[in-house]
Amino acid sequence: MSARDLYEMFHGHAVRWMKNFQFHTPRQLVVLGKANAIEYITDKYNGGGDGKMAIYRHEFETPALVCMDERAGKQLYIVGSRIKVTDAGVEN
C-alpha cells in the first residue's frame, strides 16, 4: 500500500498536499522510557472524526518503548510489538 493510500485510509479524504522526508536508518536505538499513550492533532473523518481539527489520544494497553537514534535524538521512535495504525487511529 502506498503512502497516499495509507493517508486516505486513515484520514477518510484525499491527500491535499504531500511532503517528502529524509530518514536516517539507525544502527542502534537508545531507550528513553515507556509510552503509555500517544496524542496528536488531525482532521480525520475515520474513527469517529468529523473532518475538523481535533486532538486524539490513544492509551496503550501495553506500554511501548520511546527511543532515539544514535545521533542524539534527531528521530524519535515508538517501538512496540502490538502497535498498529487503523482507520480508528493508533491501537495496541
The number of distinct structural domains making up the chain is 1
Which ranges of 3-89 does DSSP label H, i.e. alpha helix? Answer: 3-11
CA–CA separation, 36 and 75 (whole Å): 19
In terms of pTM, does the model score above 0.75? no
Rounded average pLDDT over 53-72: 86
Asked if the model's pLDDT at residue 66 lies above 90, the reply is yes
pLDDT-based confidence at 35, cuts 50/70/90? very high
Give me the pLDDT at residue 29, please. 92
Q: Which residue has the higher pLDDT, 48 or 83?
A: 83
Asked if the model's pLDDT at residue 47 lies above 70, the reply is no
78: containing domain: 3-91
Asked if the model's pLDDT at residue 32 lies above 90, the reply is yes
CA–CA separation, 76 and 27 (whole Å): 14
* Beta strands 54-69; 29-42: pairing state: antiparallel
As a whole number, the mean pLDDT across the chain is 83
